[in-house]
Amino acid sequence: MIKKRAVHFPDPERYKIYMSDDCKDFISKLLEKDPNNRLGTKGGISEVLQHPWLKSIDVNKLLKGQLPSPYKPKLSKNVFDVSAFDQEFTSEEAVITMLDKQSMNQIN
């Protein structure tokens, strides 16, 4: 759908997903169908970083890892606590899978 149809955003009231107009514009420009008109095509990363949605980000601090995280999950001392994960994943049966030695060697 991304390749052929216009970008549509979820209804904010129905799905409780709220996006600013700048955020929607940023996403739409990154998903522009014509690569010649896509955000970043003409000016590279500086064009992307100049978009109004990113104006509050200090790029130098970002690159140095000095920006605080906007969200920090509360961690439990219980190693089996999965409350931070979506139930879609925690409700699945755990399946132990092993890679054969040849596949493991290709990864290293």
6 lies in some domain: no
23 lies in some domain: yes
1 lies in some domain: no
Inform me whether the pLDDT recorded for 74 exceeds 80.
Answer: yes
Give the pLDDT score at 58.
93
Q: How many domains does the chain have?
A: 1
Please state the pTM of the whole predicted model.
Answer: 0.63
Give the pLDDT score at 59.
87
Average pLDDT on 52-77 reads 90
CB contact at 8 A, 26 and 54: yes
Rg, the chain, Cα only: 20
In 3-state terms, what secondary structure has residue 89?
A: helix
Inform me whether the pLDDT recorded for 50 exceeds 80.
Answer: yes
20 lies in some domain: yes
Inform me whether the pLDDT recorded for 70 exceeds 90.
Answer: no
4 lies in some domain: no
Cβ neighbours for 51, distance < 8 A, ≥ 6 positions apart: 22, 25, 26, 29, 39
Give the pLDDT score at 2.
72
CB contact at 8 A, 69 and 61: no
pLDDT band at 108 (very low <50, low <70, confident <90, very high): low
Task: Please give the residue range of the domain that contains residue 17.
Answer: 12-107
29 lies in some domain: yes
